[in-house]
Amino acid sequence: MPRLDRAVNIADLRRMAGRRLPRPIFDYIDGGADDEVALANNAGAFGRYEILPDTLVDVSAIRTETRLFGQPAAWPLVLAPTGLTRMFHPDAEAAVARAAARHGLPYALSTMGTTRIEDWARNFAGPRVFQIYVFKDRGLTTEFVQRCKAAGVHGLALTVDTPVAGNRERDRRNGLSLPPRLTLSSLMSFALHPGWSLPALTGSKFDLANVSHRVDVLAGQSMSLFDYIGAQFDRSVTWKDVEWLAAEWGGPLSIKGVMTPEDARRAVASGASGVMLSNHGGRQLDTAPAPVDQIAGVRDALGDSVEIICDGGVRRGSDVVKALALGADGCSIGRPYLYGLAAGGEAGVDRALTLLRSEFELTMALMGVNDVERLERRHVRRSPLAG
Ligand code: FNR
């Protein structure tokens, strides 16, 4: 087990995860689509904003609490949905949930998660968000909505940037299959990582826990769970389906993958209560803009009452400060907590959240703002060096 206290930032946790995980698994987390331009830009774009501090403000106490998806959050951060979590650590979503609850943060379970909604909800006391898709089989989506209601899920995030899978070349080069197949080269790679538990690679551990029962329906057909899910992605989903889902659900609904003011307006007109500005962490459409660069335009289009979450590229607490100043209500993170999970299970996720939170508060103190409500657009500007 690496000494997690030696990680002083998210980049350190990423390095630890890289040492701990077999290469194909690390690349699955770390990589993006095509030339990974969007992936690099998501984080890089934060660096192109400067923070304009106020001085001589009493910052002896910093108020960070807010509300997201209609629920209280200790500070404006959400743990974004990530599929196949058990591939990164055997404790999977349970470890992430325990750390998120301890930090008072919302956590979104992925449809592609490896824990059943009901088990996750029972064990996760924090704000519960479920990430949903509109599948070809609308009955499957309706079933998810019913299960979420029964399990006390607070909000839904509808992912709309995956009509087809992105072109992840690292995965193709590594021959990564889902679930991983034990080929000679993958065995070599895994053998070089004694910290990695080989049994975790086989069989039911890779169950997509929330959809596997559906495949029983297909008994007799030669279709794997993963084939079944692949076949359920629907290229014909439109805003009409958002209207339908909003009516079925009736609670907080954020559209994850919106990128423009026009689409943000359509989301609200279709019944959504919020948008997650996102390019899926650079894993889908490459050269899509960085979410942080889209915040101000979307906020201007939507006014104050619609929730905007900036998803992707956050690697520092100061990134969250910048997003809030530009008009977001919060940010969400995927890889930062997954690096922590891979590096050290629950304690690693805890470390990632602790680091980001302390950077967030430190930045607020240094810039002379003692309340998240008081972050304003005047506190940030594009760096003159950014061009
Ligand atoms: C994801 N993401 C994702 N999104 C989603 O809606 N459903 C999913 O199942 C997954 N799965 C997934 C797996 C892995 C390994 C990663 C890294 C990401 C995208 C995720 O929710 C989020 O949009 C990005 O991770 C945000 O970018 P950062 O924080 O990773 O830079």
Q: Measured between alpha carbons, how far is 46 from 42 in angstroms, rounded to an integer?
A: 7
pLDDT per residue over 254-306, tens digit each?
999 999 999 999 999 999 999 999 999 999 999 999 999 999 999 999 999 99
CA 346 to the chain's CA centroid: 17
378 is in an annotated binding site: no
Which pLDDT value is given to residue 376? 98
314 is in an annotated binding site: yes
CATH number at residue 191: 3.20.20.70
Residue 303 tokens read as 């006014």
Residue 231's pLDDT band (boundaries 50, 70, 90)?
A: confident
Q: Whose CA is nearest to atom 10 of ligand 1?
A: 82
Domain hosting 75: range is 4-386
Instruction: Label the pairing between strands 330-333 and 307-311.
Output: parallel
Å from CA of 219 to ligand 1 middle:
31
82 is in an annotated binding site: yes
Q: Measured between alpha carbons, how far is 170 from 179 in angstroms, rounded to an integer?
A: 16
Q: What is the radius of gyration, based on Cα positions, of the chain?
A: 20
Q: Is the pLDDT of residue 216 over 60?
A: no
* ipTM at complex level: 0.99
The answer to whether the beta carbons of residues 20 and 343 sit under 8 Å apart is: yes
pLDDT per residue over 353-367, tens digit each?
999 999 999 999 999
Residue 158's CB: how many other CB atoms inside 10 A?
26
The answer to whether the beta carbons of residues 368 and 59 sit under 8 Å apart is: yes
Q: How many C-alpha atoms does 24 have within 13 Å on its Cβ side?
A: 23
Cα pseudo-dihedral 140, 142, 146, 152, rounded to 10: 90
Asked whether the bond before 72 is cis by omega within 30 degrees of 0, the reply is no
If one residue of 85, 135, 283, 319 were mutated to test the ligand 1 pocket, choosing by the most ligand atoms within 8 A of its CB, it would be 283
Helices (H), 195-275: 212-216, 225-232, 239-249, 261-269
Å from CA of 75 to ligand 1 middle:
20
Q: Measured between alpha carbons, how far is 40 from 44 in angstroms, rounded to an integer?
A: 6
Active site residue 154: no
Q: Which helix (H) or strand (E) holds 254?
A: strand 253-258
Sorted by sequence, the CB contacts under 8 Å of residue 381 that are 6+ apart come out as: 49, 50, 52
Q: Whose CA is nearest to atom 3 of ligand 1?
A: 82
Interior angle at CA 236, CA 233 and CA 237, nearest 5: 80
278 is in an annotated binding site: yes
Angle separating helix axes 317-326 and 291-302, nearest 10 degrees = 30
Which pLDDT value is given to residue 204? 43
Which pLDDT value is given to residue 366? 98
Which pLDDT value is given to residue 154? 98
Q: Considering 103, 154, 280, 379, which one is annotated as catalytic?
A: 280
Å from CA of 186 to ligand 1 middle:
24
Q: What domain count does the chain have?
A: 1
Q: Which atom of ligand 1 is nearest to the CA of 112?
A: 9
Q: Whose CA is nearest to atom 13 of ligand 1?
A: 82
Residue 106 tokens read as 């919302």
Helix (H, G, I), strand (E, B) or coil at 327: coil
Å from CA of 18 to ligand 1 middle:
18
Which pLDDT value is given to residue 174? 87
281 is in an annotated binding site: no
pLDDT per residue over 118-170, tens digit each?
999 999 999 999 999 999 889 989 999 999 999 999 999 999 999 888 999 99
Taking alpha carbons only, the member of 353, 311, 351 closest to residue 332 is 311
The secondary structure of 34-91 as a DSSP string is TT-HHHHHHHHHHHTEEE----S---SS-B--EEETTEEESSSEEE---S-GGGT-TT
Which pLDDT value is given to residue 283? 97
Sorted by sequence, the CB contacts under 8 Å of residue 360 that are 6+ apart come out as: 64, 75, 77, 317, 318, 320, 321
What's the predicted TM-score (pTM) here?
Answer: 0.94
Å from CA of 39 to ligand 1 middle:
11
